[in-house]
Amino acid sequence: MKAYTYIEKGKFALTDKPKPELKETTDAIVRVTLSSICTSDLHIKHGSVPRAVPGITVGHEMVGVVEQTGSDVRDVKPGDRVTVNVETFCGECFYCKHGYVNNCTSADGGWALGCRIDGGQTEYVRVPLATQGLNRIPDNVTDEQALFVGDVLATGFWAARISEITKEDTVLIIGAGPTGICTLLCVMLKQPKRIIVCEPSEERRNFVNEHYPDVLTTTPNECRNFVVSHSDHGGADRVIEVAGAKDTFQLAWQCACPNAIVTVVALYDEPQILPLPDMYGKNLTFKTGGVDGCDCEEVLHLIEQGKIDTTPLITHRFPLSQIEEAYRIFENKEDGVIKIAIY
């Protein structure tokens, strides 16, 4: 089968690999029907993910059909359409039982697919700990509607949940890339008083304005003044930093009002500075870390109910044989790309 493979720093290639087989009784084999490219894949390509293993098939955002299950896999069976969680987790350790599945202590736990073991930009994928890692797609939800459930949509849902948003809040989201827009959709479910999205790209600001006209948009250069003039307490009550650009962490805390919550879900290429003397007295609460993707079933129900729709984010579609071109467009942000579906 064809598999898009991490060769070495700076190089991916479409290679031939054997179809995966079950290794453990908790595994499942899934035939991939759709996958997508994530910014985290680019981080692997550029050497920003030390855990990534050369030779693995990349890709951790996918849906498919269960082909085979180990004897200990529950809740899914061959023939089921499923989402695949970006994280594999045992469900039994201290962290899993407390909902922190990103910190699963299993050897196969955490971000394994497309990082430490073969992922989903291919034809078939082995999913370890499949009972926790797969969620059946409702019959009236399409593959495209479900494509982002296991990664960027799970990230956005988790970010909105831990930000403790109330209906009186002004919420600032920094970044209107795919994860930023998924975060926006999940913040909208909380019905805060106002939502502001900060994004440097005019094209992406226009996308937000077109699809979500009640949301305010601004640029990084104007953000601090804009937030002050469009909030009740001299800044945003909740800030969610999704962009991970050079100056966005500083922008996040600077735009927060005193006693705000600043949630950081961005993955940075470089260390960030926490200038405590400069923020002294603002009494900020910071929440950080990777996505805890334990809400996928709830997210699928919200999609089924028509409360979340991420299909406008799919701006391009390519067959697996043309994945090199898909990556070129995605990495260079050409042709109005937001997300690409690989079939």
Count Cα atoms within 13 angstroms, Cβ side, for 234.
5
Q: Residue 168, Cβ neighbours under 10 Å: how many?
A: 10
Could you tell me which of 292, 296, 293, 315 has the C-alpha nearest to residue 304? Answer: 296
Give the model's pLDDT for residue 303: 98
Predicted model pTM: 0.93
Give the model's pLDDT for residue 110: 86
Give the model's pLDDT for residue 292: 78
Q: In which residue ranges of the chain is pLDDT below 70?
A: none
DSSP 57-85: BP---EEEEEEEE-TT--S--TT-EEEE-
Could you tell me which of 313, 338, 323, 28 has the C-alpha nearest to residue 146? Answer: 313
Tell me the pLDDT tens digit for each residue of 123-136.
999 999 999 999 99
3-state secondary structure at position 73: coil
Q: Tell me the C-alpha to C-alpha distance, in Å, between residue 182 and each of 5, 176, 187, 212.
A: 27, 9, 9, 12
3-state secondary structure at position 322: helix
Phi, psi of 88 (to 5 degrees): -100, 140
Rounded Cα gap, residues 342 and 124, in angstroms: 13
First-to-last CA distance in the chain? 14
Contact 118, 185 (CB under 8 A): no
Structure tokens at 315: 């701006």
Could you tell me which of 178, 174, 338 has the C-alpha nearest to residue 254? Answer: 174
Rounded Cα gap, residues 139 and 74, in angstroms: 19
